[in-house]
Structure 1
Amino acid sequence: MSLLFTLIVYNLLLPLGILILLPGAVRKMKARGGRWEDMAGRFGRLPLEKKAAIAALPCGRDRIWMHAVSVGEAGIAMKLITRLLKEAPRTGVVLTTTTPTAHAMAEEFAVRQSGRVVVLYSPVDLPFVSEFFLDLIRPSQMILIEAEVWPNLVYSARRQGIQVSMVNARLSSKSERRFQQLGFLMCPVFGMLDQVHVQEPADVTRFATIGVPTANIHHTGSIKFDPQGAEADPAQVERLRAVMHQSGITAAHRPILFASTHNAEEALLAKVIQNLAAKHKDLALLIVPRHVERADSIVTELQSLGLDPVLRSQIHSSFVIRSSSLPTLLVDTTGELRAWQCLASIVIVGKSFLTTGGQNPAEAVMAKKPVLFGPHMENFEPLVDLLLKHQGALQVPDTTALESALDRLLSTPAQAQRLGESGHTALRAHEAATIKTLTLLGRHSQAGL
């Protein structure tokens, strides 16, 4: 089926899809701190200061457009940008994100880049909007993080001679089947990509089946799992150590971190730690929910269990340290998870007990922490298989098994240490993925090799 037919069908259905999805998008935007101006920006109504910041970026080959959807993809983009700006200091990057949380995280990152990174919300994929953004940004290259391809945007970029690449791409077997069912529509879209850099060898075949020419697919490993450059900011770690101490969690405690938890998981997992605290009296709780707007409801749930959680946002220089049998710190701020993982004794991965999909355990593993997760890690099957094969993480079927596993690790610190080190060793398969990616994109200086 031709690309023209795909675009006609897509553009006939897209306005209807926007109308159906818009109310939900607006509710989600408001719940996560978005503004009406942000929604207008997706249609091209940008503030003058944003347009001026883009105009101030280097022109020609030195200007890149990078697109990341949510927090996970934004983290990958920031890691890639950090290395890119080190390799090529004259480069300027426009980074677009889809979610308000990712946008806030990216804006904070951009502040530290001395005007070399401009952050925008991703455009709505209408033809005239895509053309407007491309004419405004004028990138030499477009880099898509992971697996989101917008047909009008990619088509417009290709028509203007802009190279379009997808990096850190992954495709689950479930997604592959879904794309194959729509192959007559999807294959022409994926066929427009100049390069696709995949995380796992199996992804090479999967992307080839949905229309990407095999010659354009390269196995680089995962940027997110690449140990090089993945270390947390030491200054941030020390700042958060002080915050943790103010919340009542001292150096004498062993903090258990719930990372990227979803609805109702906090209370479920907190009960497990409460049970263990009767035996291991030095435990403390660090909770970093996936969506910080849930903080008030989480506090209520934890209080119903008899806990006295402290909100990260309420801690300041005059905050009075609380004393509790199980000190609990609820992190209701963004962009700090990597540093909190460095301060934890054990990390439990969220979205793996009460819902499906799981969250990414890679950063905790790279910090050499013992990592545990529940039965539902479908979105990270290759990584989970790699970690379990090397005994670098523990997967448990339910909270009863989780409690037993935690008890063993807390009772035998040497076993916990081996678990963390084994996981870190397993991720060496992805070492140098960032450099491989930049090299294929033509953005890595030979002097840096």
Structure 2
Amino acid sequence: MLKMRRRGGYGSKFWQRFGFFRSPEKQRLADGAGRCLWIHAVSVGEVNVARKLIDQLLRLRPDQSIVLSVTTSTGYAVAVDKAPASLTAIYSPVDLIPVVRSVFRRVRPVQFILVEAEVWPNLVHFARRCGVPVRLVNARLSPRSERRYRRLRKLAAPVFGMLDAVMVQEPEDAARWTGIGAPPDRVRVTGSVKYDQSGTGQASPARMEEFREILKTCWSGVLPRVVLAASTHAGEEQALGEIWRRLKGEFPGVKLLIAPRHAERRAEVRAGLEAAGLAVALRSLPLPQGDAPPDVLVVDSTGELRHWQALAQVVIIGKSFLANGGQNPAEAIAAAVPVLTGPHMENFTPLMRLLAEAGGIRQVASLEQAAGALRDMLHHPDQAAAMAARGKAALDRHAGAAARTASLLLDFR
């Protein structure tokens, strides 16, 4: 309890973790009791998967009541952001029998759904005692975790044996789950909800044409090829600008666009690029008539990145060179655009592994290597396009995973 308190972020909802709810929360839970689906996710990554799944569940059954329990405060913030009216987000109960019993009796779900690899013994055990089916979705299991569970098989196998269904991301995951005690007839391969891009929407042809006109206005009526540095962070813009200053003479028909992650940094971004010796235009300002064409267009707007990415010949992923973590490359990959990243893609390790194994993305260890990689990709567009096609094919294997999983969950009842 002290550790949870110190971590902070729970605010007035801290006591939900011990089964205590305020009157409005009690009422919402009572309204869905006896007919709701209870989905349990831990933190931001699992909550994002849960929200994708919830969208599909509500598409198939718009009046379905859903409770989403979350462990971390950051995950809770994602859970409640633009949440549909039929979704009630709560903090997950600590895995102690009296607390679990209290919350289960209040929620009274018709299914208990766990996201990814989080199997909580008391939650699972009490659900089964109450006759509530327990299903694990988007399940994954690394070889290392499999070895650990095999060593603890006598303890782990009975818990996994209580799962009514295990929906896994890959065929290899199916073999691993059955190997640690999940009944083979309850394991199904549905693909990865996390990598499923089928519900993200496509670039609008009308907006694409609008953006082509913007490019032609910037560059004297000529539609250039485009390199887009997407969702960049402080320090990256100037560094990439210096690289582009060296390369731009080699590729006169190619122009650089930079879309900072935070558009309000526009003045700082512009100053950094000008310090690198580049002429800069801002998307948010009209281009002064009669001025020489800029070297760089800064896309200081929001809600447009999908369309700019679809127009690009190469997308460079921001937050991957000077700051740890990276940004999600999936949208650009799904648009079959060649993607180049720096070394710091820690927040997307499984996705990067998937794409790297398919030969569908290019990752470099430094900004200096990025210069060489970008030169190579622009000189050999056919090779870059083939890489992008491999990346898209790797993602397409998971297309429809959220809809498949949702359909199975509703069919089980």
Does 1:48 pair with 2:48?
no
Structure 1 distance, partners of 2:26, 2:227, is 45
Structure 1 distance, partners of 2:389, 2:408, is 31
Which of 177, 200, 204 is 1:230 aligned to? 200
Does 1:91 pair with 2:91?
no
Aligned to 1:394: 362
Which of 112, 119, 126 is 1:156 aligned to? 126
Q: Secondary structure at the match of 1:177?
A: helix
Q: If you compute each CA radius of gyration, which structure gives the higher value, 1 or 2? A: 2
Q: Secondary structure at the match of 1:279?
A: helix
Aligned to 1:139: 109
Does 1:368 pair with 2:336?
yes
Structure 2 distance, partners of 1:321, 1:183, is 66
Deviation string 1:98-157 (CA, Å, 9 cap, x unpaired) is 3334333332331xx3x2112222232232222222222211001112112222222221
For the 8 Å contact 2:60–2:407, the answer to whether it is kept is: no
Aligned to 1:78: 51
Shift of the 47–426 alpha-carbon distance from structure 1 to 2, 3 Å rule, reads same
Aligned to 2:171: 201
Aligned to 1:274: 242
Structure 1 distance, partners of 2:315, 2:19, is 41
Shift of 1:231: 2.2
Does 1:407 pair with 2:378?
no
The number of residues matched between the two structures is 383
Structure 2 distance, partners of 1:172, 1:274, is 41
Moved more, 179-188 or 422-431: 179-188
Aligned to 2:396: 428
Shift of 1:164: 1.2
Shift of 1:381: 6.9
Aligned to 2:308: 343
Structure 2 distance, partners of 1:128, 1:329, is 54
The alignment-based identity, stated in percent, is: 38
Shift of the 400–92 alpha-carbon distance from structure 1 to 2, 3 Å rule, reads same
Q: Secondary structure at the match of 2:247?
A: coil
**Letter paired with 1:408:** D
Shift of the 277–97 alpha-carbon distance from structure 1 to 2, 3 Å rule, reads farther
Within 5 Å, give how 1:175-254 maps onto structure 2: 175-231=145-201, 254=226
For the 8 Å contact 1:179–1:210, the answer to whether it is kept is: yes
Structure 2 distance, partners of 1:159, 1:71, is 29
- Give the structure-2-normalised TM-score: 0.74
Shift of the 258–140 alpha-carbon distance from structure 1 to 2, 3 Å rule, reads same
For the 8 Å contact 1:274–1:326, the answer to whether it is kept is: no
Shift of the 167–347 alpha-carbon distance from structure 1 to 2, 3 Å rule, reads farther
Structure 2 distance, partners of 1:203, 1:268, is 38
**Letter paired with 2:308:** L
Shift of 1:196: 1.2
**Letter paired with 1:285:** I
Aligned to 1:37: 12
Shift of the 82–21 alpha-carbon distance from structure 1 to 2, 3 Å rule, reads closer
Shift of the 304–433 alpha-carbon distance from structure 1 to 2, 3 Å rule, reads same
Structure 1 distance, partners of 2:99, 2:203, is 37
Structure 2 distance, partners of 1:130, 1:169, is 23
Which of 19, 25, 40 is 1:67 aligned to? 40
Moved more, 202-211 or 78-87: 202-211
Shift of 1:342: 4.6
Aligned to 1:173: 143
Shift of 1:189: 3.0
Question: Any unmatched runs of 5+ in structure 2?
Answer: 249-253, 276-283, 289-293
Q: Secondary structure at the match of 1:42?
A: helix
Shift of the 47–351 alpha-carbon distance from structure 1 to 2, 3 Å rule, reads farther
Structure 1 distance, partners of 2:18, 2:179, is 33
Aligned to 2:251: none
Aligned to 2:291: none
Q: Secondary structure at the match of 1:161?
A: coil
Structure 2 distance, partners of 1:126, 1:353, is 43
Shift of the 104–384 alpha-carbon distance from structure 1 to 2, 3 Å rule, reads closer
Structure 2 distance, partners of 1:150, 1:252, is 54
Shift of the 276–433 alpha-carbon distance from structure 1 to 2, 3 Å rule, reads same
Structure 1 distance, partners of 2:110, 2:409, is 11
Shift of the 124–301 alpha-carbon distance from structure 1 to 2, 3 Å rule, reads farther
Aligned to 2:281: none
Q: Secondary structure at the match of 2:89?
A: strand
Q: Secondary structure at the match of 1:430?
A: coil
For the 8 Å contact 1:200–1:382, the answer to whether it is kept is: no
Structure 2 distance, partners of 1:183, 1:272, is 51
Shift of 1:271: 1.9
For the 8 Å contact 1:255–1:286, the answer to whether it is kept is: no
Structure 2 distance, partners of 1:49, 1:321, is 50
Structure 2 distance, partners of 1:187, 1:305, is 57
**Letter paired with 2:91:** Y
For the 8 Å contact 1:64–1:139, the answer to whether it is kept is: yes
- Give the structure-1-normalised TM-score: 0.68
Aligned to 1:311: none
Shift of the 306–431 alpha-carbon distance from structure 1 to 2, 3 Å rule, reads closer
Structure 2 distance, partners of 1:410, 1:391, is 18
Which of 87, 99, 106 is 1:129 aligned to? 99
Q: Secondary structure at the match of 2:82?
A: helix
Question: Any unmatched runs of 5+ in structure 1?
Answer: 1-17, 30-34, 290-294, 309-318
